[in-house]
Amino acid sequence: MPTNPIRAEALAAENLSETPEKEENADHDPVPVSAAAHAALRALIEQTSSFSLRKTLETLCQTLTPPENGFADSLRADIRHEIKRLVKIPSAKRSEIQKKRLDQLTEALTQLNQSDSDARLMAEELYGHLVR
């Protein structure tokens, strides 16, 4: 915290002037929710033995659940993001696990583009195992 009162006042005024703009944008720009994060969190909840931690994670999971009508789109975005990350690794330097994961993600994206009906199951298969 600045010890100079003039500087402190200027910082406070600057922060106050930014607040309404941030609040306006918050109403119009929904926070993207990750289907991958949701599936991993569900798996973690199943593995947690502590009742209080499980309840806390359940509450968090409800907050992070993509809307039903947007779950497939959220999963597509997660898969594409992971594919982009893996493709950045030069082919010669990719481990066997990374190559298999890239194949798995590519196949999943193809299936998801053909039918949205199994998006939740697919998310569980792709991301739910990460915490087990």
Q: Are residues 63 and 39 in the same domain?
A: yes
Q: Are residues 15 and 39 in the same domain?
A: no
Q: Are 79 and 123 in contact (CB under 8 A)?
A: no
Is residue 28 over pLDDT 50? no
Q: Are residues 21 and 41 in the same domain?
A: no
Stretch 6-17: mean pLDDT? 57
Q: Are 90 and 68 in contact (CB under 8 A)?
A: no
Cα distances (Å, whole numbers) of residue 44 to 27, 39, 72, 131: 31, 9, 21, 6
Q: How far apart are CA 56 and CA 83, in angstroms?
A: 31
Domain span including residue 43? 35-131
Average pLDDT, the chain: 79
Highest mean pLDDT among 12-21, 26-35, 60-69: 60-69
Is residue 84 over pLDDT 60? yes
| pLDDT in the model for residue 118 | 84
Stretch 71-87: mean pLDDT? 92
Q: Are 48 and 57 in contact (CB under 8 A)?
A: yes
Q: Is the pTM of this model over 0.85?
A: no
